[in-house]
Amino acid sequence: MKTKHAKSPCCYALVYRFGHRRRQCSACKRTWSIRQKKRGRPRIRMQSDILKQVFLEKYTLGHLAKRRHGMNIATFRYRFRQVLHRFASGPTPQRLPSGSLILLVDGLYFRFKKIPWVLYLIALKSCTGKKAIFLDPVLLPGKESAIQWKLVLTTRLSQEIKSRIRALVVDNLNGMKKIAKQEGWILQLCHFHLILKFQVQHRRQRRALKGGVLREKAYHLMHQILEVPSGHLLDTSITELNQLAQNPSMTYRIQAVIREFISSVNYYRTYLNNPELNLPSTTNTIESMCCIIRDLLRRNRSASSPRALLKWATALIRLRKELNCNGKHRQQN
């Protein structure tokens, strides 16, 4: 049944007009406004375009404050934090490509009050595309581990996305092989992190150190094993590298690196065994995003706390949500 005349909310009696915007209850004579006005001073909101100037055009907050007729830097930072909070707490704008996907993951280390924190970065690449789409990062205390990664992947990846993932590209972190096996993903270990272990001494050319010449030979053999197709040359290189790992002239650290590489050599050559997936052989796309994040934080001095770090990193990734990520056979030397 439709009510013809409005009743008062207090006594359900007839309502009288009491001015232009007010009404009055005929029983208790209580009055109220039909259109409530917001009380207090009007809120001064900064335009959201300021985020693009800071995150994409690389302006500093101090420079932008001076451009606004010499605004106080403290006032400008406060208003910028309001815009940043609204943008980072809103829904994510990323749209994933269709079809089969490749998952790339890596962690970025920070330290707050002598406690280690890791910013976990996740990117998804189409098997037929050349771009990697970044998801919102996750910041957790403690060192990087497979247990933390399993929690991060459960938080950020839905079951529908997991079913579309064909391969995982990651550093050789303990436990990542088990995660890939449980999810049914093909595993590609990063070449960059492997070669970096040799380049600790390789860059300085310190051949006078113990095992310097043999270390150079092992370095070139490892490069050859990572790139040559299956066959006699591959078997010969693995045998020769295995013999170098048993040479007492090699340092214990290099011997351990070689033994670990030989035990996981098939995971480093996944891109050769599965050319249809167009797999990248490194996590350099994630490393590029790590460099962009560190450059932003250094330029604006904004990572004063874990909460601030997560907001700045989330906003940057949402504004610059994709980077180039070609497969190994498309990468130029």
Of residues 29, 77, 120, 160, the one with CA closest to residue 314: 120
Q: What's the pLDDT at 38?
A: 77
Helix axes 176-183, 146-156, angle to 10 degrees: 40
Q: How far apart are CA 255 and CA 321, in angstroms?
A: 40
Strands 138-141 and 131-134: unpaired
Quick check: 111 pLDDT over 90?
yes
Would you give the distance in Å from CA 132 to the centre of its chain?
Answer: 11
Neighbours of 312 (CB within 10 A): 20
Domain ranges of the chain: 1-37, 49-88, 102-286
Residue 180 pLDDT > 90, yes or no? yes
CA distance 257 to 265: 12
Which of the four pLDDT bands, split at 50, 70 and 90, describes residue 211?
low
Q: What is the CA radius of gyration of the chain?
A: 29
Q: pTM for this one?
A: 0.81
Give 207's pLDDT tier (boundaries 50, 70, 90): very low
